[in-house]
A and B are shown apart, each in its own frame.
Chain A
Amino acid sequence: ILNVEQSPQSLHVQEGDSTNFTCSFPSSNFYALHWYRWETAKSPEALFVMTLNGDEKKKGRISATLNTKEGYSYLYIKGSQPEDSATYLCVAGGTSYGKLTFGQGTILTVHP
């Protein structure tokens, strides 16, 4: 089982603040890393899939970077809004790299 860790576990920010979280994973035999947003009572929503070292992806105010050599990914949210409040999950794994393993998630709460 891969060791996928996310930090912080939870985060409270004010509307308009920018924030970022970290996902760390084993760097050897890396295959793929996904970020998902999971709002209460809804299905997890895919944000990004990244496979190459140095990948940077952007979707509106949310962006992510990937460093496969050191085994981490950052997720950034610029100008947080209350509707960004959710649990942000990263998942690594696939084929010989190891089974798909989710981190425990970062719970983001954005206060108006």
Chain B
Amino acid sequence: EAGVAQSPRYKIIEKRQSVAFWCNPISGHATLYWYQQILGQGPKLLIQFQNNGVVDDSQLPKDRFSAERLKGVDSTLKIQPAKLEDSAVYLCASSLKTSRETQYFGPGTRLLVL
């Protein structure tokens, strides 16, 4: 069974530029999560989708971050414009149905904003 795919693996941009990350969850998984992990801290949930609907986006900085999962399968997370403090690892995960089940994580995208 293929795991959660993410791209790119690494990205370096200058502040005020835009960047987009892509995630393809495990086939058949209804729930998809995007996390931001800043060095020295635990991952922080940015947004949780169930199929193509948003379950929780309360910690997503909506003035600059956006995410979509239009067909209920793969998802994109965009930052526009990026700030220095957005430098982090962005993790995508998926679970079969609910957050009571195991989440399977992708390899992450490491973003550096200069």
Contacts and interface: CB of A to CB of B under 8 A. Distances in A.
Interface of A: 1, 4, 31-32, 34, 36, 42-46, 49, 51, 89, 91, 93-95, 99-105
**Listed residue (B35, B48, B91, B100) with the most chain A CB atoms within 10 angstroms of its CB:** B100
B45 interface: yes
B78 to A, nearest CB: 21
Across chains A and B, which 7 residue pairs bring their CB atoms closest together, nearest first? A102-B42, A94-B99, A43-B105, A46-B102, A32-B100, A44-B105, A104-B42
B99 to A, nearest CB: 4
Interface string B33-52: 10100001111110010000
Contacts of A99: 45, 48, 56, 58-59
B48 A43 contact: no
B42 A43 contact: no
Given A102-B42, A102-B43, A105-B42, A51 B100 contact: yes
Contacts of B35: 102
Contacts of A45: 105
6 contacts: A31-B99, A34-B103, A89-B42, A91-B43, A95-B99, A101-B42
B37 to A, nearest CB: 8
A25 to B, nearest CB: 13
A62 to B, nearest CB: 15
A103 B107 contact: no
B101 interface: yes
A102 B43 CA distance: 6
A36 B56 CA distance: 21
B102 A34 contact: yes
